[in-house]
Structure 1
């Protein structure tokens, strides 16, 4: 019984620290992230971060895996739902992008990507997480290839790479404020859903 209580308490502390780190990373960026501030925000001693995660890097890597697991579960449910048309899945993916902007996940992901350029350990974790998402897109592209008869000159892998870049690029442009300067990246993504509907109508 005591072991269960200890395990539950550790899990609760882990989540409190990860949520505090998420907020700090969103507000201050990777460079400005302080383990002391995270511990204070979570209401625990600084030693708890070293106990649970070892270091700032360990905390940030755990945060990415924590968030990415939630997102992959969501995407698996989306692309694994046979009741949804491809166009409806695309629309939902665009809705998720809006949710991720509002929740701060987009800022956290982009901070992690930037940090990975100088940190191979962070890069490995981010790369693995993104590839899990890209594989889901590739599976959806294979479904589209069967449904429409072709993806034109693209292989499913090439198509998945382009879609992933489109979404990550849209996130970056949003954070940079480029949309406000006349580059409607998210609206462009929505229009792809309209294109898929045209293709669905032609094959129905």
Structure 2
């Protein structure tokens, strides 16, 4: 008799994750206004009642989607900015790489859709503000470390730098989604070139340190 080979049982995605992934896909395709809980449930392959069971409503599902994605990316960014093997310029380059990844994954579209929705939806706005503050606090801490490395940031405080950097990336998201890069606006190239400016500052700081020692 032949040996019976057991078939691998495919790992099933839990309903919460399936619904969040489906909501992300639908949000990218149709935007916040065109998002239907029925379509999300159909895309996820689960009954519509599962949305109400896990999230309570469309609003609850979208808030959960943003918090889920934002927490993942903040963890990723914290790990990168706390990697002692990377110089600040390397971290900036990596952040630009992540920007490209976040466009491809749909996170950028999700965030921008929810920012627009938050203008008329106070509960969504509260969640978006909290999420963005997580990024600003991360960048402020990074700017404080840069201040210690470079001996000052000119007229800027770490909070100023964090605000400007967050504006630069979120503004780049909007310009990219509007298609301005295709019309010759160097959206992502300009962000990457700022890394060259950081490298110049690192080189000047290293030269000054060598001179002093």
Confirm or deny a common fold (TM above 0.5): yes
Give the distance between the partners of 1:156 and 1:185, measured in 2 at CA: 24
Q: Are 1:66 and 2:58 matched, yes or no?
A: no
1:25-80 per-residue CA deviation (whole Å, 9 max, x = no partner) reads 01110000000000001111111101110100000000001101100110110111
The partner residue of 1:154 within 138, 144, 156 is 156
Residue 181 (structure 1) shift = 1.7
* TM-score (normalised: structure 1): 0.94
Alignment correspondent of 1:33: 35
Q: Where has structure 1 moved over 6 Å in runs of 4 or more? A: none
Q: Are 1:46 and 2:9 matched, yes or no?
A: no
Structure 1, unaligned runs of 5 or more: 1-8
Give the distance between the partners of 1:79 and 1:124, measured in 2 at CA: 26
The root-mean-square deviation of aligned C-alpha atoms, in Å, is: 1.0
* Structure with the higher helix share, 1 or 2: 1
Residue 150 (structure 1) shift = 1.2
Residue 183 (structure 1) shift = 1.5
Equivalent pairs counted in the alignment come to 195
Give the distance between the partners of 1:183 and 1:146, measured in 2 at CA: 34
Alignment correspondent of 2:209: none
Alignment correspondent of 1:182: 184
Q: Within 5 Å, which residues of 2 pair with 1:137-152?
A: 137-152=139-154
Give the distance between the partners of 1:94 and 1:107, measured in 2 at CA: 16
* TM-score (normalised: structure 2): 0.90
Residue 17 (structure 1) shift = 0.4
Secondary structure in 2 matching 1:19: helix
Residue 182 (structure 1) shift = 2.1
Alignment correspondent of 1:17: 19
Give the distance between the partners of 2:54 and 2:136, measured in 1 at CA: 30
1:174-204 per-residue CA deviation (whole Å, 9 max, x = no partner) reads 0001112221121111011000000001111
Judge which range, 175-184 or 69-78, deviates more. 175-184
